[in-house]
Amino acid sequence: GAGVSQSPSNKVTEKGKDVELRCDPISGHTALYWYRQSLGQGLEFLIYFQGNSAPDKSGLPSDRFSAERTGGSVSTLTIQRTQQEDSAVYLCASSRSGGRQETQYFGPGTRLLVL
Amino acid sequence: QKEVEQDPGPLSVPEGAIVSLNCTYSNSAFQYFMWYRQYSRKGPELLMYTYSSGNKEDGRFTAQVDKSSKYISLFIRDSQPSDSATYLCAMSAQGAQKLVFGQGTRLTINP
């Protein structure tokens, strides 16, 4: 595709519910990243996928957060038992091969509001 | 203390002014320095990229890195209303894939 796409654009959920956020990276990009952007916090790294390698999950804030990448393309970020502090914009980015300091291209994000 | 500190602003300047945006950092392992621009309700887009210390110029934009002071800057000359956005600095260490971002500075250029 022309760029990184994310769905849904906006998600409102109730505390305690599970949510799934989807990311479609740029076609041919093998590296995929998830970040979270909260008010006053900037962007925080969550998780990184590169090809068939084990993902770098070092940024996931708790075990309620998980992500998978099927077939080396589409990725889903799942948040279980959502809390109000999970409200944020969740951004996905991709790069060509995750090589040395390649440009990361960001999607428009999913705005999550937990009531 | 955060690894990367950036004044969130907001910063408001008249059209045509020179804008200076800055970040400081604490991790001496950072080698790659970037500036991203983010328009409202959009994802960040890469504006400038610098490796190690030095200056880099691209049109009206100049990025400076001073590793001895752990300080990076972005200068915008002849600022335009279309430059109004949030500017985020980002950096990473050699071999690291994740980017560490500053909080972002919200900039408004007034016509």
pLDDT, one tens digit per residue, over A16-59 is: 999 999 999 999 899 999 999 998 678 999 999 998 888 999 99
| Cβ contact A96:A29 at 8 Å | yes
Q: Is B59 left (phi over 0), alpha (psi -120 to 50) or beta?
A: left
Residue A1 has pLDDT above 70, yes or no: no
Q: Which chain A residues are Cβ-neighbours of B99 within 8 angstroms?
A: 35, 43, 45, 104
Beta-bridge partner residues of B5? B24
Residue of B nearest to A39 (CA): B103
Residue of B nearest to A40 (CA): B103
Distance CA A58, CA A60 (A): 6
Q: Which chain A residues are Cβ-neighbours of B103 within 8 angstroms?
A: 40-42
Q: What single letter denotes the amino acid at residue B39? A: Y
Distance CA A113, CA B17 (A): 38
DSSP code at position A104 = P
Strands A10-13 and A110-114: parallel
pLDDT of residue A92: 97
pLDDT of residue A102: 80
Q: Which residues of A have a CB under 8 Å from any CB of B?
A: 4, 31, 33, 35, 40-45, 48, 50, 56, 58-59, 91, 93, 98, 100-101, 103-109
Angstrom distances, CA of residue A109 to CA of A5, A11, A29, A115: 8, 11, 18, 19
pLDDT of residue A100: 62
Q: Return averaged pLDDT per consecutive 10 residues of chain B, 111 residues in all.
A: 89 97 95 94 93 91 95 97 96 86 95 94
Residue A103: pLDDT band with limits 50, 70, 90 = confident
pLDDT of residue A46: 96
Q: Residue A8: is the preceding peptide bond cis (ω within 30°)? A: yes
DSSP code at position A86 = G
Q: Is B43 on the interface with A (CB under 8 A)?
A: yes
Residue A81 has pLDDT above 70, yes or no: yes
pLDDT more than 90, % of chain A: 77
